[in-house]
């Protein structure tokens, strides 16, 4: 009996010893030399694998970071400046800070603002619908409302507003990874700098029709009337194809354009209502003043003419 036990123990122990020797040798022989910094960089990255950096995933990005001469072309929008700084420290390279961005919805065509003209039936995909036609409503430029962008978002930073039929971006969760921007077949979504005090002013419309047509298609459509263009002192607004476009690099967020827009397509995110009211009041006062001035001038001219007679 005891013999069996002894044999078993001896055989098992020697087997284990042989296996251990083989394993040790193999691990030495086939060791892959890996840059130890790679693991640290990977740890620093948010490991969301969202592709916002333009690479297939975080490990590909880490590899690119390691081999790149300078990091100015590489940026992780999810981690932002903090993570990039950390990465730069690990790698001992320079990093350029970037302004944080956030996605904005450039369409105001909610259910109440634009008329439905047909019923779409098919795969719940904006791309499929866009391949078929301009959409189930009159405006061919606007949001199709099938929520492909929401599906594309890895960060749960978007949802479809059932009341309006338009996507809504939750600013705190948006990482500006660009996924929704590239997926939207109508290019409704754009990345915009988060801005001072989280304020952004943009044209929430992409309609390039002439004013009459555009207005017929949607109650809130940019008609290209150029009032905002006239108002802007920073040359941040241009009118192209009957559509106002704001250059965010030039915009000073004065919000004066928002007040003059009659169609209401100029969105001022996080600009307090009071400020807009104040601006509107100031504008009204100014217009009244100008009117008064003109009237006075006219009267003066008339009086002068009378006096001349």
Partner 1 sequence: MSTTTLLTVSPSPHVHEELTTPQIMRGVIYAMLPAMLVALYTFGWDALRLTLIAVLSCLLFEQLISGSLLGRKMTITDGSGVITGMLLDFNLPSNLPWYMIVIGSAVAIGIGKMSFGGLGNNPFNPALVGRVFLLTSFPVAMTNWPIPLMTAAVDGTSGATALGILKDGLRQGQTVPALMEDMPSYANMLLGYHGGSIGEMSALAMVLGLVYMLYRRIVTWHVPVSMLVSIFVFTGIFWLIDPNQYANPVFHLVTGGVMLGAVFMATDYVTSPFTHRGMLIFGVGIGLITVLIRLFGNYPEGVSFAILIMNAFVPLINKYTRPRLFGKTATS
Partner 2 sequence: MSLRASTELKHFHKGGVHPHEEKLSADSSIEVLPPPKMVTVSVAQHIGAPPEIIVERGQAVKAGEVIAEHKGFVSANIHSPVSGRIGKIDPVMDSSGYKHMAIAIRSKGDDWLEGIDRTDALITEITASSEEIVEKVLSAGIVGQGGAAFPSHVKLSPPKDKPVDTLIVNGVECEPYLTADHRIMVEKPRELIVGTQILMKALGVNRAIIGIENNKRDAIELLTELTKDLDGISVEALRVQYPQGGERQLIEALLGREVPSAGLPHDVGAVVHNVGTTYSIYLAVQKNQPLVERVVTVTGKDVEKPSNFMVRVGTPVAEVIAAAGGVPTGTGKVINGGPMMGKAINDLQVPITKATSGLLLIPEEESHRSEVYNCVRCGKCIEACPMGLEPYRLMLLSKGKNHDKAKEEHIMDCLQCGSCSFICPSNRPILDYIRLGRSKLKKVSQ
Binding positions for partner 1, rule: CB under 8 A: 116-123, 128, 131-133, 136
Residue with smaller CB distance to partner 2, 68 or 123: 123
Distance CA 14, CA 28 (A): 21
Least separation in angstroms between residue 125's CB and partner 2 is 5
- Piece of 67-75, 103-111, 121-129, 282-290 that binds partner 2 (CB under 8 A): 121-129
Q: Which position among 7, 122, 284, 296 is part of the footprint of partner 2 (CB under 8 A)? A: 122
| Residue 159, φ and ψ in degrees, nearest 5 | -150, 160
Is 132 a binding residue for partner 2 by CB under 8 A? The answer is yes
Is 127 a binding residue for partner 2 by CB under 8 A? The answer is yes
Is 121 a binding residue for partner 2 by CB under 8 A? The answer is yes
Per CB under 8 A, contacts with partner 2 among 178-197 are 185
Please name which of 183, 205, 198, 176 lies closest in space to residue 103, comparing C-alpha atoms.
Answer: 176
Q: Which position among 42, 55, 64, 128 is part of the footprint of partner 2 (CB under 8 A)? A: 128
| Residue 267, φ and ψ in degrees, nearest 5 | -95, 135
Answer positive or negative: Cα dihedral of 72, 75, 81, 82: negative
Distance CA 135, CA 117 (A): 9
Which two structure tokens, joined as six digits, stand for 246? 């704001």
Among partner 1, partner 2, none, partner that 86 touches (CB below 5 to 8 angstroms by kind): none
**DSSP secondary-structure letter at 109?**
-
Per CB under 8 A, contacts with partner 2 among 133-152 are 133-134, 136, 140
The β-bridge partners of 170 are: none
Asked if 46 and 79 count as a contact pair (C-beta separation under 8 A), the reply is yes
∠ CA 61-191-205 to the nearest 5 degrees?
155
Is 240 a binding residue for partner 2 by CB under 8 A? The answer is no
Dmax over Cα atoms in the chain, in whole Å? 143
Least separation in angstroms between residue 279's CB and partner 2 is 36
Least separation in angstroms between residue 183's CB and partner 2 is 8
Among partner 1, partner 2, none, partner that 185 touches (CB below 5 to 8 angstroms by kind): partner 2
Is 57 a binding residue for partner 2 by CB under 8 A? The answer is no
- Piece of 23-31, 122-130, 164-172, 277-285 that binds partner 2 (CB under 8 A): 122-130
Residue with smaller CB distance to partner 1, 3 or 121: 121
First to last CA, the chain: 143
Please name which of 245, 192, 232 lies closest in space to residue 77, comparing C-alpha atoms.
Answer: 192
The residues that touch partner 2, with contacts defined as CB under 8 A, are 117-118, 121-123, 125, 127-128, 130-134, 136, 140, 185, 209
């Amino acid at each position: 009996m005891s013999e069996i036990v002894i044999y078993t123990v001896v055989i098992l122990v020697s087997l284990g010893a042989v296996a251990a020797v083989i394993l040790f040798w193999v691990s030495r022989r086939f060791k892959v030399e890996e840059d130890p910094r790679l693991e640290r960089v990977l740890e620093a990255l948010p490991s969301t694998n969202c592709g916002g950096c333009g690479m297939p995933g975080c490990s590909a990005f880490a590899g690119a970071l390691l081999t790149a001469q300078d990091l100015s072309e590489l940026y992780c929008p999810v981690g932002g400046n903090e993570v990039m700084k950390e990465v730069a420290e690990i790698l001992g390279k320079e990093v350029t800070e970037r302004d944080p961005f956030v996605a904005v919805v450039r369409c105001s065509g909610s259910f109440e603002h634009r008329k439905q003209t047909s019923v779409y039936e098919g795969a719940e995909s904006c791309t499929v619908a866009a391949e078929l036609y301009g959409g189930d409503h009159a405006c061919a430029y606007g949001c199709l409302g099938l929520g492909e962008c929401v599906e594309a978002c890895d960060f749960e930073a978007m949802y479809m507003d059932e009341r309006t039929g338009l996507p809504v971006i939750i600013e705190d969760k948006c990482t500006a990874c660009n996924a929704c921007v590239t997926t939207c077949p109508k290019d409704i979504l754009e990345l915009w700098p988060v801005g001072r005090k989280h304020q952004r002013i943009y044209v929430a419309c992409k309609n390039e029709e002439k004013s009459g047509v555009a207005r017929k298609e949607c109650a809130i459509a940019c008609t290209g009337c150029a009032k905002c263009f006239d108002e802007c002192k920073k040359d941040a607004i241009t009118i192209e194809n009957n559509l106002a476009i704001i250059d965010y690099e030039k915009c000073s967020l004065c919000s004066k354009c928002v007040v003059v827009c009659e169609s209401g397509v100029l969105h001022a995110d996080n600009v307090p209502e009071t400020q807009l009211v104040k601006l509107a009041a100031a504008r009204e006062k100014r217009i009244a003043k100008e009117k008064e001035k003109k009237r006075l001038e006219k009267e003066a001219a008339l009086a002068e003419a009378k006096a001349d007679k």
